[in-house]
Chain A
């Protein structure tokens, strides 16, 4: 199956049942991730990045559902697989780390057992052997004294340690794709860097591709080779992470990049306020017509208010969804 991307998303739409109405929480979402690649999905909360991830792993629950489009894993459409076949992929080939290490682990089960489950579920191991493998898995995420720590319960571990446990669980079966949904947002800044390093190194060693989801453009660009920016349920720009900082093409991305604090900028430009994007993200039930960014966009013209821009290929490489892109 060489040549086919590891995962390919085509024109994905995710519906949200909102009272008696059905609205598209995300639409026209397309991207691909190759084997061992690192891909970032960036956007403000509510832009649809987390539900896109949940759709990939088949964990959308009502009121959310896949409304259209295709998700292919190694060329195979996953949403039409049987529930049992989907479960074989989930955890085993596609694993996920969640934002809240405090609540993402079962409070009444020892962490070792929660790791060992992976080996029982996907590798056909007995509990005894699975528990031994759990110690190794815990050692691989650099938890000190793993043979003792496996007996600990989540409340006995710090946030950083819990996220290490989550990584151990996610990487236990050597998945091909790791989805990391805001993996460090709930952690102290110092711990953040450690966790990101660990995740990146382990995935690089094993050839695991990463789909990293975050609101932090700087962090994502640091970890990922390619970045897609989402706004109000659509991907507005997809670029190499160096390019997106150097020459952002979509006005929204330009705003995001301009609003990042830069070290030394105060010395160069004098005392100035951090830039911000005027206005607020539209509510999911009230997306504007045309380009959804148009009410906040300084360059918006009549066409932006009526016609949804197509995704264009940039000469410099990358994709953008804007009527006025450079």
Chain B
């Protein structure tokens, strides 16, 4: 188990390096820099001095080497824009993003998975049809549109919830962004769960369970659930990564002070260290969650054991 953990942690290193390299290359190919984004007609002398100060006069490979060297010591560099260490910036932003992503995920799991279960128990029934209509709609709705509609009704018309911002970090500020972000994974979980349960219901061991004289409820509780969980868990793991990415749109829409909005602002101003750092944190979170999911597989499915 420990050696598996160690090996998996080692495996993240090439992934991280690849992500860092990719972002570096993209930003060196893309036109413009922090200097040109500040003003349109600045003095070439000033521009040059700024570039020297920021190290932008160095060739890409030299900057890349220096960045990696610093990264190895846990230093994410200094923001071009605010002159703050990137780690400090991220530290301030990571909590709101995690709050948002976990709230959306919790919502999606708590509603989506049971919905899929109920739908699968009577395929073709009224609940199934309704659930799948909801699921397909949920997957098809654009997030920014859904966010705006929710804002319009619940903030503007009804005045129940604040329309945007983080406020004091209270729950009422979290609800609208979390719902906006959570609808599509909820729909996906409902569909995946339904498909998984339907497939398992045809398995031989379910027939065995029925031959024991079990009620359908017990068959599901004792034999179907845990088998379905393995499949659901995979989807949940992958969705975590997707949500970290989709959070960018939702955070921007609701002025949510998370990594996503930090990322968007930093990209617009070519603040490479901040972009680098934000993406890296998102990637690390994704890797960590997937490692956790792999470990959970071992707990749920006895056929999977890590040596």
Contacts and interface: CB of A to CB of B under 8 A. Distances in A.
A100 B204 contact: yes
Contacts of A122: 213
B66 interface: no
A108 B214 contact: no
A100 B207 CA distance: 11
Contacts of A210: none
Given A98-B204, A105-B205, A108-B227, A87 B214 contact: yes
A59 B205 contact: no
Contact of A87 (B204, B213, B300): B213
A155 interface: yes
A106 B210 contact: no
Contacts of A285: none
Contacts of A110: 302
A96 B207 CA distance: 10
Contacts of B211: 57, 59, 90-91, 95-96, 98
10 contacts: A87-B214, A90-B211, A91-B211, A95-B211, A98-B211, A104-B204, A105-B208, A107-B227, A108-B230, A109-B222
B209 interface: yes
B213 A108 contact: no
B204 A117 contact: no
A108 B204 contact: no
A29 interface: no
Contact of B302 (A87, A89, A103, A108): A108
A312 interface: no
Nearest to A108: B226
A185 B189 CA distance: 39
B204 A121 contact: no
Given A98-B208, A105-B208, A109-B226, A90 B303 contact: no
A118 interface: yes
B212 interface: yes
Interface string B196-221: 00000001110111111111001000
Contact of B215 (A57, A87, A95, A155): A87
A88 B215 CA distance: 10
A153 interface: yes
A153 B303 contact: yes
Contacts of A107: 205, 227, 301-303
B223 interface: yes
B300 A108 contact: yes
Interface string A140-153: 00000000000001
A153 B227 CA distance: 13
Most chain B CB within a 10 A radius of its CB, from A95, A98, A106, A107: A106
B141 to A, nearest CB: 35
A143 B204 CA distance: 23
Interface residues of B, number: 22
Nearest to B302: A153
Most chain B CB within a 10 A radius of its CB, from A89, A103, A108, A110: A108
Contacts of A106: 205, 208-209, 223, 227
| Closest 5 pairs between A and B when the two form their complex, measured CB to CB | A91-B213, A90-B213, A91-B212, A103-B204, A153-B302
Given A98-B204, A103-B203, A153-B303, A121 B212 contact: yes
A90 B212 contact: yes
Contacts of B301: 107-108
A309 B210 CA distance: 37
Contact of A88 (B204, B208, B213): B213
Nearest to A103: B204
Contacts of A104: 204-205, 207-208
A89 B227 contact: no
A135 interface: no
Interface string A224-235: 000000000000
A105 B230 CA distance: 17
A92 interface: yes
Most chain A CB within a 10 A radius of its CB, from B208, B213, B223, B301: B213
A169 interface: yes
Contact of A117 (B203, B214, B230, B302): B214
Contacts of A108: 226-227, 230, 300-303
B213 A89 contact: yes
A155 to B, nearest CB: 5
Nearest to A166: B208
Interface string A61-91: 0000000000000000000000010011111
Nearest to B214: A121
A84 B214 CA distance: 9
Contacts of B300: 108
B60 to A, nearest CB: 51
A118 B177 CA distance: 48
